[in-house]
């Protein structure tokens, strides 16, 4: 008979530092569902979950790859034809590059993790926007890096505060993260801001991680890649099929390491790390090729649908007393702010909203804003009719919340 010990096994301490509020909050929604209430999930930016369809030619390409027997391991860097498709796409957008500086990754997410792991040592600092997409700080928690938040300002349409950014740099700073178009704010930075970010990074020997996963979801059309301003700046660009190509579950993405020879050792380090995870999902790499070489006819109507939903969102939220919301310029997120009564937090507001109405948003502090500042993020991919009913419910809940505080 075995005598099993009963003491609980302790997980690693780094997990305690790790947080990804966008999904961590789902546990709360499950409790609400267990009590019989329907939850409207506005927490995850997945267009497919809201009825937007993956283009058929992508599906056919992935299916064909499987039928043609491409079910084995692939090169760690990704198939050559897929990397060529990415390199040609960047060239067509004005950035000369070569397939040798492209890696196909398991979504943008893996590219971010590979890059941070390849560049940043324990104790090094990384400049991340506030609010930020929380994967950056989550990965940093795993590798022992330290985030330094640079402010982006709702009063200027969520643009970076460059003076405050400059004040954060020190000898330990290695990387500048730029998320443009931005999640969670929907901001798009004008060229002069991007230029200043590049000059700042150059002056302090920083690598720019340019998260461009929403680049094709500008409401006025595609947003230029950051590297078009300076091919020789040390920029690593990331994107994927998840958002603008409507296939988030495929986990198919790419990263492009800028042509500057200053990035050669980093490129080698990224390739070395990529060897250890074998390859990204194989058949989906054929989907990347189909996406970047094939029709993008789905994008204009998608951009238009997003523009319409962004307008409904900002109009309706700005009409709620005690709330304000900056109009996004891209993607499918808005970051409204509610003026909280003293002592209340964004998490209290969001969880109270969930329990009262079944509407699940994410509290701003999950993206790095101060809990008492009252920001929260809305995903506005639902139909205009559904959004309208959601905003009715947010309006009545908020008036009650602020009245009884
Ligand atoms: C700014 C940003 N970067 C990266 C990702 C991750 O994307 P992927 O599905 O390509 O890993 C997301 C997903 O929401 C995001 O918003």
Any ligand 1 atom below 6 A from CB of 133 = yes
| Ligand 1 and 212: CB distance under 6 A | no
What span, in angstroms and rounded, lies between the C-alpha atoms of 128 and 388? 33
pTM, entire model: 0.95
Maximum Cα–Cα distance across the chain: 72
Cβ-contact 234, 39 below 8 angstroms: no
Q: pLDDT exceeding 90 applies to what percent of the chain?
A: 93
Q: Is 146 helix (H, G, I), strand (E, B) or coil?
A: strand
Q: What is the mean pLDDT of residues 196-200?
A: 98
Tokens of 373: 């500042």
Residue 240 Cβ contacting ligand 1 at under 6 Å: yes
Q: Is 253 in the pocket of ligand 1 (CB under 6 A)?
A: yes
List Cβ neighbours of 112 (8 Å cut-off, separation of 6 or more): 135, 136, 139, 209, 211, 238
- For 287, list phi and psi in degrees, rounded to 5: -65, -35
- 184 in contact with ligand 1, CB cutoff 6 A: no
State how far the Cα of 61 lies from the Cα of 367, in Å rounded to an integer. 36
Query: How far is the centre of ligand 1, averaged over its atoms, from the C-alpha of 181 (Å)?
Result: 11
Ligand 1 atom nearest to CA at 112:
4
pLDDT, tens digit (0-9, with 9 covering 90-100), for 230-278: 999 999 999 999 999 999 999 999 999 999 999 999 999 999 999 999 9
Ligand 1 close to Cβ of residue 248 (< 6 A): yes
Looking at ligand 1, which atom is closest to the CA of residue 251? 9
- Which residue is associated with the tokens 């971010």? 112
Distance (angstroms) between ligand 1 centre and the Cα of 109 equals 6
pLDDT in tens, 356-384: 999 999 999 999 999 999 999 999 999 99
Residue reference for tokens 């560049």 = 119
Within 13 Å and on the Cβ side, how many CA atoms surround 101? Answer: 24
The full set of domains in the chain, from first to last, is: 14-52+298-403 (3.90.1150.10), 56-293 (3.40.640.10)
What is the Cα–Cα distance from 21 to 59, expressed in whole angstroms?
A: 31
d(CA 183, CA 239): 13
């Amino acid at each position: 008979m075995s005598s099993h010990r009963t003491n609980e096994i302790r997980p690693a301490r780094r997990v305690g530092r790790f947080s990804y509020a966008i999904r961590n909050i789902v546990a709360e929604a499950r409790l609400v569902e267990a009590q019989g209430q329907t939850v409207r999930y506005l927490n995850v930016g997945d267009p497919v979950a809201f009825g937007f369809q993956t283009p058929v030619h992508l599906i056919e390409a992935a299916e064909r790859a499987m039928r043609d027997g491409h079910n084995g391991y692939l090169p760690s860097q990704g198939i050559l034809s897929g990397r060529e498709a990415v390199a040609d796409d960047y060239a067509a957008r004005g950035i000369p590059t070569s397939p040798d500086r492209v890696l196909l990754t398991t979504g943008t997410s893996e590219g971010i993790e590979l890059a941070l792991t390849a560049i940043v040592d324990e104790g090094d600092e990384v400049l991340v926007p506030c609010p930020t997409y929380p994967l950056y700080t989550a990965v940093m928690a795993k590798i022992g890096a330290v985030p330094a938040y640079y402010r982006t300002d709702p009063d200027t349409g969520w643009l970076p505060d460059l003076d405050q950014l400059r004040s954060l740099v020190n000898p330990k700073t290695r990387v500048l993260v730029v998320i443009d178009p931005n999640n969670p704010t929907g901001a798009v930075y004008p060229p002069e801001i991007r230029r200043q970010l590049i000059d700042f990074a150059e002056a302090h020997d920083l690598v720019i991680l340019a998260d461009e996963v929403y680049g094709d979801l500008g409401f006025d059309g595609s947003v230029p890649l950051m590297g078009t301003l300076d091919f020789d700046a040390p920029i690593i660009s990331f994107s994927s099929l998840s958002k603008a190509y409507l296939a988030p579950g495929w986990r198919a993405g790419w990263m492009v390491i800028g042509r500057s020879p200053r990035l050669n050792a980093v490129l080698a380090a990224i390739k070395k790390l990529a060897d250890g995870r074998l390859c990204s999902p194989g058949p989906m790499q054929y989907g990347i090729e189909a996406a970047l070489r094939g029709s993008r006819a789905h994008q204009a109507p998608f951009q238009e649908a997003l523009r319409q939903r962004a307008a409904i969102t900002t109009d309706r939220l700005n009409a709620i007393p005690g709330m304000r919301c900056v109009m996004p310029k891209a993607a499918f997120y808005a970051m409204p702010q509610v003026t909280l009564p003293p002592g209340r937090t964004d998490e209290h507001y969001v969880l109270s909203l969930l329990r009262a109405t079944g509407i699940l948003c994410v509290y701003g502090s999950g993206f790095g804003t101060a809990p008492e500042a009252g920001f929260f993020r809305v995903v506005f991919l639902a139909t205009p009719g559904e959004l309208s009913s959601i905003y009715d419910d947010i309006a009545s809940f908020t008036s009650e919340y602020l009245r009884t505080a």
